[in-house]
Chain A
Amino acid sequence: MSSEPIERRVSYLGDRLRATRCQLCGKEYFEIRDYCGNCGRKSYGKMDNIDLFFEKGKLELCTLVTEPTNKFTKLGSYVHGIISFHDGKIRVPGRLTDRIVKDGEIPDFSALEGREVVPRFRRRYAVDRNDVVPTISLAFTLADEYYPHQKYVVAPPQKEYDVPGIVGYGVYTSRFRIKEEGLERSVPFIDEDAVTAAVEAGKMALIHAGVDSKLVGKVYVGSESNPYAVKPIASKVAQVLKLGEEDGDVQGVDAVDTEFACKAATSMFKDAASLVNYPRAGINCAMVIGADNSQAAPRGCPGGELDLFVGFGGAAFIFGKHDVIAEVEGWYSCTSDTPDFWRRDGEAYPMHGGRFTGDPAYFKHVRKAASKLMEQLGLQASDISYFVAHQPNPQFPVRVARELGFKDEQFAVSLQVNRFGNTYSGSSPVGLAAVLDIAKPEERVLIASYGSGAGSDAYLLRTTSQIVDKRQRQKATVKFQAENPFVEYVDYPTYRRLKLGM
């Protein structure tokens, strides 16, 4: 049972936590109001639309739910409570997410009450496989734990560049990890999926870039784990992040999902950069997101070998020509019809070609794209500060980097597969973010993604002085998330359960 119009209305309000403030008396309302209950008719037309999406709230009261309603049973036990914003002027119900309440555990309600919380965009509850996936941001995490609260401050542009580039980025990985044989991999909480990760990464990119979301004229989302075969992730991202000019409940933005295995996002970097550079497009910024709840069959099943490597997470990059932190100096892409990894329509998990995924697939394409680009730009490996490759496992990126002539110190920073696993479309983008987190001005970064099927995109980026200025707005760096003390490790059965989702 689901009603799409009701779903649309609840999501529209709940995803962004839309609210209203009366200009006359200052009273605030959760949801959208055309007039104020206090002030009546005279307040008509004097209600400001506000929202709580980027804000920090306070958990006022809480209790434990051990017997959820039917749609929430997959969450097990969880803490539910009332969250206030704006010093108590507005209060909403909420669920604490990213917490596994163990059997017999009694949360200390008094200790939780009064703590600051941040809204998280998550799945709302479980529905039938054929239904629209319901989402909401009435899920919260503690502000001083895994995800720090960061203010979203729109900064007026200071400098225009001749060459387009990255103006901001954000990385989103989950709080949970599985650790096996030295490899740590991020595991989504049960209410997360590729859609929620894409929105959260985009949110963090907006915060880091400090650009007004209405200036983003196009958003691309690359993923191979969209819960829908038909229905874009990008439309959710556009609506929740209010990309483009807002006109009623429609956003003036172009939004599209792209698919090319793990290079679905990186492929669009050049499109985004070109678009913002096209004088007649009138597009100031373009956002590219790569996010995946990387799929793998259970161990022992065909394709189950992937289950040792898959992670969860993604990264978002905003391209533009103002206040650029890394200019796009050039790119080279290559493609061949190589069936090394695929997932047939309607199948839950991908299959792969075993050793065929190596030399004839990953290595051939990454090597070609990277070396061709260096050749085009007349650069040697030694001219480049950092190299980032797609990271399907810990061995491939190291081998290809060395073959291309890079030394360990040039690619070590980008190697994140040991911390987060293979985040598919998010893999090389997360590696790139790790480099941008620490790069100094005027450094060259070479990134070479890989997408099965097969192809590779290589880009050469050159950092600017503004990379340092913007760093203060990036609390949730890749290192911060990798070494976070609030990371929670789960066992294999829990990992499979969480990954399967609601």
Chain B
Amino acid sequence: MQNRPAVVAVGRTKFGEHYGKEPEKLIEEAWLAASRECDIERRDLEACYLSDCFLPITNKLGLEEGFLSELTELHAPMEVTRSVSAALLTACHAIQAGIYNIVLVGGIEKMTDRWSKIRDDLMLLEDPWSYYAGGTPEVNHELMLRAYIKKYGVTGENLDKLNIALAQVAVKNHANATKNPYAQFQRKITIDQVLNARKAARKPLGLYDFAPISDGASALILTSEAIAKKITDKPVYVLGCASATDYLNYSSREDLTRFIAVKIAMENALKMAGSSLRDIQVAELYDQSTVMEMVSLEDMGFCEAGTAWKNIYESCRDYKGYYEFNGRKLFTNMDGGLKANGNPLGATGGAQLFEVFKQLRGEAGERQVTIDAPLKCGCSLEMEGFGTKSYVCILGRE
């Protein structure tokens, strides 16, 4: 990638239920944390890219840029997207084009303010025809699991293993979150809890298979390579950043067992980064459900289609902190993932990038991944809707 942009600082709030805070208070907290870390002042910012998925619906806020301007007394160009990855992608383009040198990328979501209507709103955004046919935010995940089981003929003992593997995903993510002070759920869960929740729900996935509804904000400061080198001795470069789009209507998609947009975004991001899968050591996956984490491992190419559950099952039987694919280690969702870290849609991607950034700089504290050599490369996968949009961002130290 030419004129590669660099992340010089990150900040975030705790994810969870912030009933006492206005949305602008949350973004302020995240931005100030990032600003403090790199000593960049608000007046240094040349532009802002802010993301929120549906603040205009949940909080009746149509011009989110306004409160950011008010908080920072900043009148620079600002744009709003629906995900932090989308904001980052746009910001990267501007820096690569040489238009700006220092920009703020942030995300905010306040889902609990309209708790009672959130599921209807989410579903209307995600897949309207499914909503009209009685669909909930959970059904497409469950139908994808049914499709997967049928396509790959997973039955009997293997089906039990697959169901346990999905439970292990949630258990692993919750365990990771205990080391993350920003996480929404900082407590462990057991496989039995996951399985019993499914039983209670009388369907393929239960309470513990799904990410929660959250409030939160995240921010990062993105600069050109030259500026980054002046500001910090540990810049983290955006090596590749790509997106792809798929149908809104899940049932109309060609293959119901995968996210084609994830595959395309990953391939393009790798190409842009000039790296191969082997270089990726840590990955933040978009585990809106345990099924999404499983299927994404296949779509991103870490393992063959139809096999991810086996890798998960084997890796987690005696979990050492990573998934193993053909002898290679992949550390995933070290912050707890969407499941336990939380999922304030428009801010989620920022937390993912936060984690990859911290891991690559060796600043992840208790969560720090240790391998023989310093970490070099990590990636994040973010989606909008049920795989309708996919963003892959590859970050690296060199």
Contact = CB atoms under 8 A, between A and B. Distances in A.
Interface stretch (B12-20, B249-257, B354-362, B364-372): B249-257
Interface string B114-143: 001101100100010111111110110011
A446 interface: no
A80 B203 CA distance: 11
Given A82-B250, A93-B250, A105-B202, 4 more contacts: A65-B203, A66-B202, A70-B117, A93-B132
B129 A93 contact: yes
Interface stretch (A56-64, A282-290, A321-329, A371-379): A56-64
Closest 5 CB pairs of A and B: A95-B134, A138-B133, A63-B142, A93-B130, A93-B133
A136 B133 contact: yes
28 contacts: A14-B129, A30-B252, A60-B147, A61-B256, A62-B143, A63-B142, A63-B143, A63-B203, A64-B202, A65-B136, A65-B203, A66-B201, A67-B136, A68-B134, A68-B136, A70-B116, A72-B134, A80-B130, A80-B133, A80-B135, A80-B136, A90-B252, A91-B251, A93-B135, A94-B133, A95-B134, A136-B133, A138-B133
Contacts of B142: 63
A175 interface: no
B123 to A, nearest CB: 6
Interface of A: 10, 14, 29-30, 60-72, 75, 77-78, 80-83, 90-95, 104-107, 109, 113, 124-125, 136, 138-139
A62 B146 contact: yes
Nearest to A82: B251
Contact of B129 (A30, A70, A90, A105): A30
Contacts of B252: 29-30, 90-92
Interface of B: 116-117, 119-120, 123, 127, 129-136, 138-139, 142-143, 146-147, 150, 201-204, 249-252, 256
A60 B143 CA distance: 9
Contact of A70 (B119, B143, B147): B119
B202 A30 contact: no
A47 to B, nearest CB: 16
A70 B120 contact: yes
Contact of B139 (A14, A77, A80): A80
Nearest to A29: B252
Contacts of B123: 69
Contact of A61 (B119, B120, B147): B147
A78 B163 CA distance: 23
Contact of B136 (A69, A124, A136): A69
A138 B251 CA distance: 13
Q: Which of B119, B133, B139, B142 has the most CB of A within 10 A?
A: B133
Contact of A66 (B147, B203, B250, B251): B203
Contacts of B251: 82-83, 91-93
A95 B133 contact: yes
Contact of B119 (A10, A30, A69): A69
Contacts of A70: 116-117, 119-120
B249 A30 contact: yes
A81 B251 CA distance: 9
A176 to B, nearest CB: 19
Contacts of B136: 65, 67-69, 80
A71 B120 contact: yes
B202 A124 contact: no
A27 to B, nearest CB: 10
